[in-house]
Amino acid sequence: MKCFLFAPELSIKLCLQTQPLGVMADGGSWFAALAFGVSLLKCLFISAYHSTDFEVHRNWLALTHSLPVSRWYHENTSEWTLDYPPLFAWFEFGLSHVAQHFDRNMLVVENLNYASASTVLFQRLSVIFTDLVFIYAARECCRCVQEQKGSRDILNQPAFVLAVLLLWNFGLLIVDHIHFQYNGFLFGFLLLSVAKHLQAHHLQGALLFSILLNLKHIYLYVAPGQLPQVLSRLFPFKRGLCHAYWAPNIWALYNVLDKSLAMLGVRLKLLEEAELPRASMTGGLVQEFQHSVLPSVSPSITLVCTLLSILPAVASIWWRPCGARGFLRCLLLCALGSFMFGWHVHEKAILIAILPLSILAVESREDAGIFLVLTTTGHYSLFPLLFTPAELPIKVVLMLIFTIYSFTALRKLHSGQGSLLHPLELVYLLGLVAVAIVCEILFPLSPWKQRLPFLPLLITSVYCSVGVCYSFLRLYVSLLRQREKLKQL
C-alpha cells in the first residue's frame, strides 16, 4: 500500500520486475497502477476536513433533486445559491438520484449544513468516481507525447512522467479530495479536448470544449426566460475585485501597492487617515471595496485588461498557426491571462494553467523550467485553503513529494540540455520555505494573530503572485521565440 500511496516510482519498479517491458510499453499496466494508487490515496481522505464547498454541493444536490428546473436559479434558502452553468446543474441532478440511496435527508433543501456520515461518504465517493473522466483524459494526453528513442527505462519516459504529474497533481488532491470540489471531473474535459486536438481530431476537441464551457463557463443552456437570472448568478460582480483570500495575480500586487502608498502618505502627512476608505480589502470579506490611493478597479477594466493580455497570443495563433503545440501554448496564455487580470478570481483557478503545462514540460526544457516555477508557486498558494492544524502535515508532505518528484523527473528527462532553472529562480522558490515557516508556524504563535489574522494570506498571495506573473511573462517570451524560429524556416 505504501508503495502506491507515497512512492509511485517504486510501485512501478515492482511491476516491472514481474512483467516484460513490452507489456508496460503500451502504457496499460503502469498507468493503471498509478491511477489505482492515487485512487487509494483519495479514499484515505474521506474522513478529512472539508470546506464550505461541501455544503455548497450538498445544497445543489438538494435543490436540483427537490425543485423544478424553473426554480433552480431562483432558490435562495441557503446562502450557497446555484451559480454554476446549467449543464453542471444537470450533473448534480444526476448525482442526486444516486445520493438518495445513501441518505435521503441530504436532499432536503431546508437541511442546511447537513453532513451525516452517509452524506460525507457519498460526496467523497462521487468525486473519486467522476475522476474517471480525468484519468481517461490523462491517459489520452500521455499517448500524445513522444517517447525518448533508445531508452528502455519506462520510469524516465515522458509519458510516465506526465502521468505522474497529472494523476498525482498536488493541487487537485487537496482542492478536490480535502477542500472538496469537482475540479478533476471538469479538468478531465479540458485535457481530453487538448488531447483530441493534439491527435488532430479537432471536431472532437471542439465538442468536448463546448461541453466544458457549459459545465463551467459560457452558459446558454436554458430557456431565454431563465437566462437573465442564470447570468446574474454566474457573474456576481457585487462580490468585489478579489476573493476573500486573494488569488496570486496582478490585483494582489495592486492592492498591496495601494495599501503601501496609503500608509506612506499618512506617515508623510500627505494624506489624512480619517479621509481614506476603510481598508476592507484586507479584512478577508467577499465584498466590493474602494482603493485608497490608486484608482479603483471596475469589472469593465478587468475585462479590458484580460482581453489585452491574451490578444497577442490569440492574434499569433490566428495569423500564423503553428500546430497543436502552438494551440496549447495559446490556451495556456489565455488561461493565465484570465487568472492574472480577471474579476474575483479564485486561487484554485491556477490549476487551469498548471495541468496543461505539464504536457509541454515533458517535451521542452524551457517549458519544464516554467512549469517548475509555476507549479511550485501555484501549489503553495493553495496552502491557506487547508488551515486547520490537522491538515498541516498532510499538505506539507504531499507537496514535498510532488515537488521533489517534479524536479528530479524533469531534470532526468532533460539531462544534457542545461539547467532547468536560473539561480535567481531557485532563490525565489527557496523563499517559499521561509514564507511557509513564517505563515504556518511562527505567525500562529505570535501576538499578531489576533490583531492581523489575515496577514499570512496577504503574504502568501503577494509572494506567490510574483512567481505567477513571472511565469506568465516567460510563457509569452517562449511564444515569441517560437514565432521567430518559424519565420526562419
- Cα–Cα dist 18/20, whole Å: 7
- Cα distance between residue 369 and residue 372, in whole Å: 5
137: pLDDT strictly greater than 70: yes
The reply to whether 247 falls in a domain is yes
Q: Residues 158-174: what's their mean pLDDT?
A: 94
Is residue 357, in this structure, part of any structural domain at all?
Answer: yes
Q: Which whole number is the average pLDDT over 98-117?
A: 93
More confident residue, 313 or 131: 131
More confident residue, 476 or 297: 476
What average pLDDT does this structure show over 151-174? 88
Question: Predicted confidence band at 486 (pLDDT cuts at 50, 70, 90)?
Answer: low
| pLDDT of residue 22 exceeding 50 | no
Q: Does 396 fall in a domain? A: yes
Q: What is the DSSP string of 297-316?
A: PPHHHHHHHHHHHHHHHHHH
Q: Please state which of the ranges 124-133, 143-152, 158-167, 234-243 shows the lowest mean pLDDT.
A: 234-243
Dist. CA 308–CA 377, nearest whole Å: 24
The sign of the CA dihedral 303, 237, 336, 282 is positive
**CA dihedral for 220, 224, 230, 234, sign (positive or negative):** positive
C-alpha 170/C-alpha 354 separation (Å) is 11
* Single-letter amino acid, residue 266: V
* Residue closest to 129 by CA, chosen among 164, 159, 94, 103: 94
Cell of 362: 515533458
Phi-psi group of 276: left, alpha or beta (phi > 0 → left; psi -120 to 50 → alpha; rest → beta): beta
Helix pair 132-142, 183-198: axis angle to 10 deg: 30
What is the enclosing helix (H) or strand (E) of 16?
A: helix 8-18
- How is residue 113 written as a grid cell? 449544513
Q: Is the pLDDT of residue 410 over 80?
A: yes
Total number of domains in the chain:
1
In this structure, is residue 38 part of a structural domain? no
Is 390 within the bounds of a domain? yes
Range of the domain at 476: 235-489
- Flag whether 114 is in a domain: no
Residue 452 DSSP SS3: coil
Q: In the chain, how many H helices and how many E strands? A: 23, 0
Amino acid 177: pLDDT = 92
Let me know: does 338 contact 310? Beta carbons within 8 Å.
yes
Residue 293 lies in a domain: yes
Helix (H, G, I), strand (E, B) or coil at 172: helix
* Residue 98: DSSP 8-state: H
| Cell matching residue 184 | 478533476
Write down the mean pLDDT value for the chain.
Answer: 82
Residue 486 included in any domain: yes
Sign of CA dihedral 89, 92, 96, 97: positive
What is the 8-class DSSP label of residue 446?
Answer: S
Strand partners, 345: 242
Instruction: State residue 219's pLDDT score.
Output: 32
Tens-place pLDDT, residues 47-70 = 888 888 999 999 999 999 999 988
pLDDT of residue 236: 56
- Whole-model pTM? 0.84
The yes-or-no verdict on residue 239 having pLDDT over 60 is no
